[in-house]
């Protein structure tokens, strides 16, 4: 594949291959891509370890003597550690969403300014029509990187990340004395009381986990589907950072390729 970088930083690249988009743009920076996959790995570990903590499925034959190993304590410890890391990523992302402007400065976040898309009925109609196969081309939203469905889903996702972190801190606090967990749990005590005790907190923690599992299934399918249906290189994008230009997803024809080579 012959590619040509535009400028020092590859903001956009012209692809010269039949059937591929004519212009790809750099949409996912290094941090975004790294964070995406790290969070993915964290979530997989958290779901698996959380399932073990809720209902320990490993056979006890692993450790015949109590003193030989502390599998539950280990799993629980690394579950909490991964939880803190996930919360750190979540807070960084929420900060970016709320306060980082288009040119990377502090202010009202660029993405926050896209929120009106959720209340744009035409946008809803266009996007749902696209997913329900009632229109061929992906609707283009001039002021938003996200469609209304995406915006709503991601907002719910981050709200859920906060809920699972809050419930997680409350659940972890009885196992440690002092430290950040205890400090957080003391602050969150009114929430624990409002929820009616640890049992309800734990149930909410588990239900939100299932929301993540469902989200992941839908997210993977829709990203793959979108990528194939529109040829916008969405799946490649979260690895390479480059995605087809949303404005004019034009596919390179044989003729254009010939011309390009002649130049």
Partner 1 sequence: MSRARTQADPEAIDRTLDKASIEHYERLAAEADAHLDELAAQAPLKDVTLEDQLRRRGITRREFLKMTAVMTATMALPSMFDLRVARAAELATRLPVIWQELQSCTGNTMALIRNSNPGIDELLLDLISLEYSEVLMAPSGQAAEDQLEAAIEQYRGAYIAVFEGSVPMADDGSYLTIGPAGHTGIEIVKHVAENAAAVIAAGACAAYGGIPAARPNPTAAVGIADFLNTQRINKPVVNLPACPVSSTNVVGTILEYALFGRLPSLDAFGRPLWAYGDRIHDKCERRGHFDAGQFVEGWSDIEGLKRGLCLFKVGCKGPMAHNNCGVVRYNDGASWPIMSGHGCIGCSEPGFWDTLTPFEVPLAGRRFPVFGIDADADTIGAVALGAAAVGIAAHAGATLVKSATEQRAAKKPEAKKEQ
Applying CB under 8 A, the residues found at the interface with partner 1 are 54-56, 58, 60, 62-63, 66-73, 75, 131, 133, 136, 174, 189-190, 192-193, 196-200, 202-203, 206-207, 209-210, 213-214, 217-218, 221, 225, 229
Q: Nearer Cβ to partner 1, position 213 or 239?
A: 213
The least CB distance from residue 156 to partner 1, in Å, is 15
The least CB distance from residue 3 to partner 1, in Å, is 28
Backbone angles phi, psi at 21, to 5 degrees: -60, 145
Q: Nearer Cβ to partner 1, position 45 or 130?
A: 130
| 8 Å CB contact between 22 and 231 | no
Q: Nearer Cβ to partner 1, position 19 or 196?
A: 196
The least CB distance from residue 61 to partner 1, in Å, is 10
Q: Nearer Cβ to partner 1, position 1 or 67?
A: 67
Using CA atoms, how far residue 218 sits from 39, 108, 196, 213, 224, in Å, is: 17, 30, 32, 9, 10
Q: Nearer Cβ to partner 1, position 78 or 95?
A: 78
- Count how many Cα atoms sit within 13 Å of the Cα of residue 86 in the half-sphere of its side chain: 27
Rounded distance between C-alpha atoms, residue 14 and residue 5, angstroms: 8
Q: Nearer Cβ to partner 1, position 183 or 210?
A: 210
Nearest to 145 by CA among 160, 122, 121, 123: 123
Q: Nearer Cβ to partner 1, position 13 or 172?
A: 172
The least CB distance from residue 164 to partner 1, in Å, is 13
Nearest to 140 by CA among 32, 249, 228, 235: 249
The least CB distance from residue 72 to partner 1, in Å, is 4
Dihedral-angle region of residue 133 (phi above 0 means left; psi in -120 to 50 means alpha; beta otherwise): left
The least CB distance from residue 158 to partner 1, in Å, is 20
């Amino acid at each position: 594949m012959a590619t040509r970088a535009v400028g020092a930083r590859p903001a956009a690249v012209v692809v010269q291959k039949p059937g591929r988009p004519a212009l790809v743009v750099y949409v996912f920076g290094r941090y975004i891509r790294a964070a995406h996959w790290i969070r993915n790995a964290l979530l997989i570990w958290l779901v698996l370890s959380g399932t073990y903590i809720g209902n320990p499925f490993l056979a006890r034959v692993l450790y015949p003597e109590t003193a030989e190993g502390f599998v539950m304590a280990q799993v629980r410890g690394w579950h909490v550690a991964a939880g803190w890391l996930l919360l750190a990523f979540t807070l960084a992302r929420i900060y970016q969403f709320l306060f980082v402007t288009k040119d990377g400065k502090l202010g009202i976040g660029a993405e926050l300014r896209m929120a009106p898309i959720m209340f744009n009925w035409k946008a809803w109609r266009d996007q749902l029509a696209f997913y329900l196969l009632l229109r061929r081309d992906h609707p283009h939203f001039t002021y938003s990187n996200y469609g209304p469905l995406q915006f709503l889903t991601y907002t719910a996702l981050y709200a859920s990340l906060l809920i699972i972190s809050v419930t997680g801190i409350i659940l972890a606090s009885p196992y440690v004395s002092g430290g950040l967990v205890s400090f957080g749990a003391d602050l969150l005590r009114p929430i624990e009381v409002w929820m009616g005790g640890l049992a309800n907190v734990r149930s909410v923690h588990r239900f939100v986990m299932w929301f993540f599992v469902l989200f992941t299934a839908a997210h993977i399918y829709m990203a793959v589907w979108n990528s194939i249906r529109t040829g916008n290189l969405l799946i490649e994008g979260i690895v390479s950072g480059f995605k087809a230009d949303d404005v004019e997803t034009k596919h390179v024809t044989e003729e254009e390729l010939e011309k390009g080579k002649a130049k």
